[in-house]
Amino acid sequence: MGVTLSLRDTKHRLMLANPVSGNLVDISLCGARLSVPHIRTGNYHLFYACNDDPDKVIDLEVIDQEEGGRLIIPAHPVWFDHVLSSPTKHFELGMEFLLPPEDPNIARLHAFLALQPSLQPGWLKKLFRLG
């Protein structure tokens, strides 16, 4: 599923660089794993910019093309890896949501993903299985 990442300075309320398009690879109640073609945007490195300055966050944006809805989840990167073994040589980025798991926007994100036809059946049940 396609997503857009935007680096934002929360202290000065500024968008810092051009957005980066990516794909949602995996998701949990607390975060997500994303695939992006590059980890730098403008003069910023998505991982290090946020880890060097706690006022910088990444807005993870999902757009429902059919309904025109838009959902933005603030997140903080916790790891990244350059996947050189892939033909696309993309980056994977682990994100921690800055909203608690019980936040309505997290529930909206999971509900939106459950409606995506490209997902395998039963993935949502596996996600919420507690044991």
- CATH code at 28? 2.40.10.220
Give percent of the chain with pLDDT exceeding 90.
Answer: 54
Query: Is residue 21 included in any domain, yes or no?
Result: yes
With a cut of 90, say whether residue 65 has pLDDT above it: no
Query: Is residue 50 included in any domain, yes or no?
Result: yes
> How far apart are the C-alpha atoms of 91 and 24, rounded to whole Å?
12
Query: Is residue 90 included in any domain, yes or no?
Result: yes
Query: Is residue 105 included in any domain, yes or no?
Result: yes
> How far apart are the C-alpha atoms of 99 and 64, rounded to whole Å?
20
Query: Is residue 88 included in any domain, yes or no?
Result: yes
Considering just the CA atoms, what is the radius of gyration of the chain in Å?
A: 15
pLDDT tens-digit profile of 103-114?
A: 988 888 877 777
Q: Which domain holds residue 62?
A: 2-123
pLDDT tens-digit profile of 81-102?
A: 998 888 888 999 999 999 998 9
Query: Is residue 54 included in any domain, yes or no?
Result: yes
Query: Is residue 45 included in any domain, yes or no?
Result: yes
Mean per-residue pLDDT, 32-60? 93
In three-state secondary structure terms, 51 is helix
- Report which of 96, 83, 103 is spatially closest to residue 57, judged by C-alpha positions: 96
Query: Is residue 131 included in any domain, yes or no?
Result: no
pTM score, two decimals?
A: 0.79
With a cut of 90, say whether residue 126 has pLDDT above it: no
Number of domains in the chain: 1
